[in-house]
Amino acid sequence: MYKCKHFRIEELVSQQVFKKYGAEFCWKFFDENLLMDLDTIREFYDSSITINDWVFGGTFSQCGLRCNKDPLVASAKGIYCSAHVLARAFDLHSSDIKKLYKDIEILYNEGKLKAVRRMESPASTKYGWCHIDSFQTSCKGLEIFTA
C-alpha cells in the first residue's frame, strides 16, 4: 500500500473521515497513482503545499476526501457529485499558486503524472487554490475546466 512521503493522511481526509476510520484504513480510499502524483508535484514544486491543515489547528478541512457529514456536502441542495467524495481530488494551497499551476502543467506534459487528468481553471477558484483530480476526460491533454 502506497503512503505519501510528503503528506500525512490527516492532510488528505476530512476530520470526520479520519475520526471514523483511522490512519491505516484512510490510506485505502486513495488510488496509489494519485498519491504518487501528489508526491511528484510536491517534489517538483519544491515548496510547501497545504491540502487540509485541520490537524495543525488550521481552517482547511474539506480539501481532500469529503464525506456526507462534512459541511460542504451536507449543506448541498440536491445531488452532490464530486471527485472529492470519491477520493479522486485535492485542492492544493501554496504561497505561489501561479507557479504551482504551471508546474502541474509541465509535469503533465512531460508524462510524469499517472492519475491527474483535470485541473480547475484559476478563474473559478476565487479563494486561490489549485484543484486537481483524476476524473476521465474526453480531450487529449490536461483538461482545464471551470466549475
Is 3 contained in some domain?
no
Is 138 contained in some domain?
yes
Is 120 contained in some domain?
yes
pTM here is 0.95
pLDDT digits (tens, 9 = 90+) for 41-95: 999 999 999 999 999 999 999 999 999 999 989 999 999 999 999 999 999 999 9
pLDDT digits (tens, 9 = 90+) for 33-55: 999 999 999 999 999 999 999 99
CB 29 within 8 A of CB 67: no
pLDDT score at 126: 73
Q: Which domain holds residue 55?
A: 9-145
CATH of the domain at 25: 3.30.1380
Is 30 contained in some domain?
yes
Is 77 contained in some domain?
yes
Angle at 49 between CA 111 and CA 38, to 5 degrees: 35
- The number of distinct structural domains making up the chain is 1
Q: Is 131 helix (H, G, I), strand (E, B) or coil?
A: strand
Is 2 contained in some domain?
no
Is 1 contained in some domain?
no
Contacts of 8 (CB under 8 A, 6+ apart): 55
Is 89 contained in some domain?
yes
Pairing between β-strand 118-120 and β-strand 143-145 as defined by DSSP bridges: parallel
